[in-house]
Structure 1
Amino acid sequence: MTTFTLTPHGSLTVTPAATSSPHDFDFLIGRWVIQNRKLKTRLNHSNEWDTFEATGNLRKVLHGRGNIDDFITTFDGQPFEGMALRIFDPGTTLWSIYWSDTNRGTLDKPVVGSFDGNIGRFYSRDTYGGKDIVVMFQWDKTDPAKPVWSQAFSDDAGKTWEWNWYMYFTRPPQQVTFQEPIRVLELRNYLMQPGMTGRFAQYFSDHFVGTQRAQGAMLPGIFTVQGEADRFFWMRGFGDMASRLSFLQGFYGGAVWKGYGREANGMIIDSDQVHLLRPWPEGRVEDVLGNGRYGFVVIDYYYAKAGKRDALLQGLAKVYEPQMKERVSLWVTEMQANEFPRLPVIQEKDLVVVISSFLGEADYREKSPLVEVEGHSVKRETIVLNRVLNR
């Protein structure tokens, strides 16, 4: 097992377990939802706890001898991001775990230790409230699908310990893959503050793409709008309206949005241009957008005369028939009530939307059909999109 000793002069020596391995943290790779239970005050016999949610994501570095993860939440309404760097020393077979966060400009001194089977213990000397203490991190991966991290302080050289922080890890809901059909689609067209589109695209990619997908939304792509420098366009899909509502309640009430939503909203002038759609007669966005293969997307909004939408649909289907299910899909407004009024949507019953995908502008000029629907005089608006690389 992992043990530590303190010399009379206060130096700490950690002895690794015989089973210590560079693969000890493989169970933690990927994304997590983290339920926290943290003592409000420490080393004063307190029994008052704060509880809050965070998210985390771990990836390997240094050819597997190290890893980095993040810890994203909010404290007192302010975004907070922490980072742990873990490095395995093959000479000593000890792990060193370094911590930093948004309140620090440096890495903390490491806690050092190893795993013995399913339990990992890591130690360091520190000071807290003017007291010399020993810090212990403990990992319990008995159930690797629900690991538990905990932290304890000792102010009597390890004779007694106060456990002051617990993190309970669970995987986020299984990511919806693009093998599943999108039956509800949001087309979200934002007007940005002047000159902010590029910065927002990067911010959105860094903080909202992976986290939304991890929580169950399908994001076919994020885009800039050709000819409109201050526009940002993205799509978000769901299997049905019930799963959409569940996602919106969870995501916009969760740690990621609380931590980063205010700054994101500060870059936007208007985010209410959102059409809520369903496929006609049935469509799969992953086929149309090619899982990112197509970088040039054209959206045509057709506004039929009152009561003429279905006839228009039939006419458009004939025009696009050779490309349906491959490059082109037809959509109509989803008329079920929007049960998340915090995010308003546009629901026009006579609207038909055509989404077409192309490899690039030259491909569009060559293969886009000249659309003339016989017997229909309709209003048509076209938006040309350039895909932003999703990280």
Structure 2
Amino acid sequence: MTKAIAASSIVELRQYTLHPGRRDDLIALFERELLQPQEAVGMQVIGQFRDLDRPDRFVWLRGFADMEKRRQALGDFYGGPIWKRHRTEANATMIDSDNVLLLHPAEAETAFELPDAAPAAAPALVMAALHHFDAPVSPRFLAYFHQQRQPLLAAMGATALGSFVSDYSENTFPALPVREGEHVFVWFAAFQSDAIWQRCRPLLQAWPIIDADPLPPPRTTEILRLQPTAHSRLGWLSA
């Protein structure tokens, strides 16, 4: 399938905590009623996932060309008839929907690359590694990760999907909160099996000394082990 570089320079990583047993209800509603209407007003719905380690967590990604386009698109969707028709049903599944990180690509070439639609192929295991720092992510860390750590992971079977850092733009749609004051580096990868993922995982949590000068490590690392839904555009392996 022909791929195209995603136009999104702003990406939201959204993690929703749901009432027990309601995740599949939200996914069905989302993909039947809410996915296409968001894209119709200018958003890019990048991927939807079940968190394999948290049965009541729904994780999804959407993108925007810039912050002004984000403001316009969110206003059009949440002020429009589709969301008004379905919001009560959607909100009834949720305990919390405010765990949202605003991101942009760490480098121009690390944006997501997406097919036009979810392909009819096997779903990958998708990993999101969220590295939290006490200050903005340094160029030195990015250079080390992309030039040294990522090639090692690729040799072990990880397929890089994209990498991102915190975007510090003012939230142009305050009706939907985002986590402010966060300094994160987020790396997404796909794996053909859980065994490959387990082999790669230690490399995401150990940081070396470079030239006798310690590489400033993340304060914490949060790992999301994700299963793409049927209509997710991100996270499907070619047949």
Q: In the alignment, which residue of structure 1 is the partner of 2:141?
A: 312
Among 373, 376, 379, the residue aligned to 2:207: 373
Find out whether 1:285 has 2:112 as its counterpart.
yes
Unaligned 5+ segments in structure 1 are 1-176
Cα pair 1:188 1:235 within 8 Å, conserved: yes
- Given the alignment of the two structures, is residue 382 of structure 1 paired with residue 223 of structure 2, yes or no? yes
CA distance in structure 1 between the aligned counterparts of 2:80 and 2:114, rounded to whole angstroms: 31
Greater RCO between the two (CA within 8 Å, min separation 6)? 2
The structure in which a higher percent of residues are helix is 2
Question: What is the SS of the residue equivalent to 2:113?
Answer: helix
Cα deviation 1:135-167 (Å, max 9, x = unaligned): xxxxxxxxxxxxxxxxxxxxxxxxxxxxxxxxx
User: How many Å apart are 1:336 and its aligned residue?
Assistant: 0.9
Give 2:128's match in structure 1, choosing from 299, 315, 321.
Answer: 299
In structure 2, the residue matched to 1:206 is 32
Deviation at 1:180, TM superposition (A): 3.8
The residue matched to 1:229 in structure 2 has which SS?
coil
CA positional deviation for 1:229? 0.9
SS at 2:55 equivalent = strand
SS at match of 2:203: coil
Task: Tell me how far apart the structure 1 counterparts of residues 128 and 52 of structure 2 sit (CA, whole Å).
Answer: 12
- Tell me, what secondary structure is at the counterpart of 2:70? helix
Between the aligned partners of 1:256 and 1:368, the Cα distance in structure 2 is 41
Instruction: Tell me by how many angstroms 1:284 deviates.
Output: 2.6
Which residues in structure 2 correspond to 1:174-323 (within 5 Å)? 178-282=4-108, 283-286=110-113, 294-306=123-135, 309-318=138-147, 319-321=149-151, 323=154
Matched with 1:78 is: none
| Moved segments of 4+, more than 6 Å | none
Where 1:344 maps in the other structure, the secondary structure is coil
Q: 1:340 to 1:224 in 2, by over 3 A?
A: same
- Corresponding residue for 1:79? none
TM-score for the superposition, normalised by structure 1: 0.50
| Root mean square deviation, CA, Å | 2.6
The aligned residue for residue 327 of structure 1 is: 160
Label 1:191 to 1:309 Cα distance change in 2 as closer, same or farther (>3 A).
Answer: same
Query: 2:102 is paired with a residue of what secondary structure?
Result: strand
- Name the SS of the counterpart of 1:277 in structure 2: strand
Alignment-derived partner of residue 237 in structure 2: none
Partner SS for 2:28: helix
Instruction: String of CA shifts for 1:27-59, please: whole Å, max 9, x gaps.
Output: xxxxxxxxxxxxxxxxxxxxxxxxxxxxxxxxx
Name the CA shift for 1:181/1:368 in 2 (closer, same or farther; >3 Å): farther
Aligned residue in 2 for 1:342: 175
Larger Rg: 1
Q: Which has the higher strand share?
A: 1
Q: What is the TM-score normalised by the length of structure 2?
A: 0.79
Taking the aligned partners of 1:182 and 1:285, their CA distance within structure 2 comes to 8
**For each residue in 1:261-320, what CA deviation from the matched residue of structure 2 results, as whole angstroms up to 9, or x when unmatched?**
1210111000000101000112331259x9556532111111124356333222222311
| CA deviation after TM superposition for structure 1 residue 366, in Å | 5.2
Q: Displacement, 1:242?
A: 1.6
Distance 1:348 1:328 in 2: 25
Report the count of equivalent residues.
213
How far apart in 1 are the matches of 2:202 and 2:7? 26
What is the CA deviation profile of residues 358-382 of structure 1, one whole-angstrom value per residue up to 9, with x for unaligned ones? 2342443456672333223321111
For the Cα contact (< 8 Å) 1:327–1:358, is it kept in 2? no
Could you tell me which runs of 5 or more consecutive residues in structure 2 were left unpaired when the two chains were aligned: 209-213, 233-239
Inter-partner Cα distance in structure 1 for 2:189 and 2:15: 17
How much identity, in percent, do the aligned residues show? 27
Residue 238 of structure 1, CA deviation: 1.3
- In structure 1, how many angstroms separate the alpha carbons of the residues matched to 2:141 and 2:83? 40
3-state SS, counterpart of residue 389 of structure 1: coil
CA separation of 1:202/1:291 partners in 2, compared to 1, >3 Å: closer, same or farther? closer
Distance in 2 between residues matched to 1:254 and 1:307, nearest whole Å: 36
